[in-house]
Amino acid sequence: MTQRIEIGNRAIGPDAPAYVIAEAGVNHNGSIQIAKELVDIAADSEADAVKFQKRKLKNTYVEDIVEDPAIAEMGVEYTVSNLKDVLLTDEQYREVAEYCDKQGIQFLCSPWDVDSVDYLEGIDIPLYKVGSPDMTNFVLLERLLETGKPLLLSTGMSEEKEIERTVEFLQERNADFGLLHCRSTYPSPFHNLNLDFMNELKRRYNVPVGYSGHERGIAVSGAAVAMGASVIERHFTLSRDMEGPDHSASLEPQGLKKLVRDIRNIEESQGVPRRYMTRGEYNNRVSLSKSLASTDKIREGEQINRKDLTAKSPAKGISPQELYTVVGKRAQRNIASDQLLQWDDIQNVDEKEFDTDLENWGIVVRFSDISEHDWGNPDAFEFRINGADLEQEFKINQYDKQLGIHAPEQKGHDIVDLSARDETRRAEAVDLIQRVIDRVRDDIKPYFETQDPPIVIHPGGITEHDMNLEAIPEMNNALEQSMSELDDDGVQLLLENMPPLPWIYGGQQYHNNFMNAEEIAEYCERTGQKICYDTSHAKLWCNYADVDLYEHAKTLRPYTEYLHVADAIGVDGEGIQIGDGEIDFERLMDLYQDFDGPIITEIWRGHERKGRGFKEAAETLSEYF
């Protein structure tokens, strides 16, 4: 198991975002003002840290060369001459460190000699980055180990046997360290980069491995992240046209910003090592994929031949993959020409006997399909109401069951947004929800046993292009105002916790409020509000925010009166069958052993095949009670 480096609440290593170090180095050219501008650029790019270099020349070069660089060979003369012109004072380093703290970015600094370590210890740096020239410098490494801080070491300029010796040196002393694959040429040609060596470093040493790049552009750094780099370090500058040794191989401000953006997009795109269908993908599948369809009339009892079948959209029947499963079967009823085939058309579907002792189990239904199937005798029906339903006459039988309602989330293509900061949109949402309440109270409630039927409501708070978490207080104030304007006599209004990345008409958007457990709990405490807790939504948020689902659910358990239960994968794999996703239901359901509210198995497309998805979920769930 590869170890991780912990820096406060930030981890470096497997299953953690790449730690991005914006390397200012000496690109400040000795100017404190430029150094601060570089800090601003790094902070704006959302890099994790900005790193400088500190050295005392008399400790890093022999005195004769420091006094007269011209006596050295050309490369050394150029380097020392430049370095003499770009050093900051001790006080200026402290000033830069304080400025980093003010700008909200971690200050790092690579010491090139022991005295510089002594100085930097007074600034309390959380880790030390060792440059490639000092990979083999046991004198410096020995002093760094005395600090007890984690180390990141670049491997440029080193042979494999030298890397091996340094790793042994560090491991013998129980050091906490990581290695950065590096080519110390400026700029590095692509054919020399040899990224595959990162994998070899990981295999050999089981430490966090990253990439310190000096190549042109940002593509290779992104590729390194895709290959598992835990750290990315890149030089940056105000302008590549500036004088100095590192400017020409550095990223300019926009390039650094794009690099961090691309790294985070790459990490987000990596996902999990399994295939699942997203909501948006499923919607497109229904519209664009195919089902088996009849080419002509097929009479009841006739054997179905290959010529009787073709494939047509939408994908709401038997999959064309079942072509040769269907061929040879006999029709169970008359099938008209150009009809999508269902399993009931070709065989008596032998449903396994449904068996669950889950109390207060409920399923999701619509007014159009409630009487179509044997739903397995659930204890509760949750009706999904859409805007069109409000214009219809409800035809409902008398039911000896509990009643739940899910209010519309959209009206046409518009979000029903009780959290809207725009007063017109908010008022429209209140009006729509009030119409739902009135219809439930007058036209639906009389047919069920429930005294005050729960109505599950989405709070809104959706933005199209990005999250705006800073707006949560304002959104929740609008939500509180909206809820206070609703006449809820005879019903119980429940707000639902939300997922981070909902699919709205096939496009992914962003929720803002009612995801964070502490935020929801504070709202409920302040207003007396109760909630519908959706396990799938909660897991997606917990994955997105890197928090524990059990703790999330535990925080909200006192306010939970109603459960939506489904599994989840990643940050948008919603409504997954229980056991097919990432939720530990045995642990989670321990919180609900005394729960007496409705438990709705909310499996995506669970109504198909006579509600098979709902039933399977209920059977599995009953094992945990």
Residue 521: is its pLDDT beyond 90?
yes
Residue 273: DSSP 8-state: S
Q: Mean pLDDT throughout 83-112?
A: 90
Give the tens place of pLDDT for each residue, 277-328: 777 787 788 889 999 999 999 999 999 999 999 999 999 899 999 999 999 9
Residue 337: is its pLDDT beyond 80?
yes
Q: Which two tokens stand for residue 327?
A: 């061929």
Mean pLDDT (the chain, rounded): 89
Give the tens place of pLDDT for each residue, 150-176: 999 999 999 999 999 999 999 999 999
Give the tens place of pLDDT for each residue, 187-231: 888 999 999 999 999 999 999 999 999 999 999 999 999 999 999
Q: Which of 467, 597, 459 is nearest to 523 (CA)?
A: 459
Query: pTM of the predicted model, to two decimals?
Result: 0.71
Per-residue model confidence (pLDDT) at position 69: 67
Per-residue model confidence (pLDDT) at position 273: 82
Q: How confident is the model at residue 375 (pLDDT cuts 50, 70, 90)?
A: low
Most confident of 374-388, 480-494, 592-606: 480-494
Residue 353: is its pLDDT beyond 60?
no
Tell me how far apart the alpha carbons of residues 305 and 373 are, in angstroms, rounded to a whole number: 29
23-27, 99-103, 375-379, 594-598 — which is least confidently predicted? 375-379
DSSP 3-state of 301: coil
Q: How confident is the model at residue 607 (pLDDT cuts 50, 70, 90)?
A: confident
Tell me how far apart the alpha carbons of residues 582 and 588 are, in angstroms, rounded to a whole number: 12
Residue 13: DSSP 8-state: S
Per-residue model confidence (pLDDT) at position 416: 92
Residue 604: is its pLDDT beyond 90?
no
Q: According to DSSP H, which parts of 152-218 are helical? A: 160-172, 197-205
Place of tokens 């046209």: 241
Cis peptide before 187 (omega within 30 of 0): yes
Per-residue model confidence (pLDDT) at position 235: 95
How many residues comprise the chain? 625
Q: Side chain identity at 605, as an amino acid letter?
A: R
Backbone CA torsion sign across 549, 555, 559, 561: positive
196-205, 409-418, 424-433 — which is least confidently predicted? 409-418
Residue 507: is its pLDDT beyond 90?
no
Tell me how far apart the alpha carbons of residues 317 and 24 are, in angstroms, rounded to a whole number: 60
Per-residue model confidence (pLDDT) at position 371: 65
Place of tokens 């700008």: 103
Per-residue model confidence (pLDDT) at position 129: 95
Most confident of 45-49, 71-75, 503-507, 567-571: 45-49
Per-residue model confidence (pLDDT) at position 68: 67
Q: Side chain identity at 529, as an amino acid letter?
A: Q
Residue 389: DSSP 8-state: G
DSSP 3-state of 111: strand
Residue 352: is its pLDDT beyond 60?
no
Per-residue model confidence (pLDDT) at position 504: 76
Residue 73: is its pLDDT beyond 80?
no
Domains of the chain: 16-270 (3.20.20.70), 279-346 (3.90.1210.10), 361-622 (3.20.20.150)
Residue 2: is its pLDDT beyond 70?
no
Tell me how far apart the alpha carbons of residues 61 and 118 are, in angstroms, rounded to a whole number: 18
CB atoms within 10 A of CB 544: 18
Distance of CA 162 to the CA centre of its chain: 39
Give the tens place of pLDDT for each residue, 532-555: 999 999 999 999 999 999 999 999
Q: Are strands 530-534 and 492-496 parallel, antiparallel or unpaired?
A: parallel
Residue 577: DSSP 8-state: P
Q: Which two tokens stand for residue 258?
A: 């794009």
Tell me how far apart the alpha carbons of residues 152 and 119 are, in angstroms, rounded to a whole number: 19
Residue 506: is its pLDDT beyond 60?
no
79-93, 487-501, 526-540 — which is least confidently predicted? 79-93
Tell me how far apart the alpha carbons of residues 389 and 365 are, in angstroms, rounded to a whole number: 13
Q: Which two tokens stand for residue 465?
A: 């292009």
For residues 205 and 166, the answer to whether their CB atoms sit within 8 Å is: no
Q: Which of 149, 166, 63 is nearest to 109 (CA)?
A: 149
Place of tokens 């518009």: 414
How many Å is the Cα radius of gyration of the chain? Answer: 31
Give the tens place of pLDDT for each residue, 16-69: 999 999 999 888 988 899 999 999 999 999 999 999 999 887 777 667 776 666
Q: How confident is the model at residue 396 (pLDDT cuts 50, 70, 90)?
A: confident
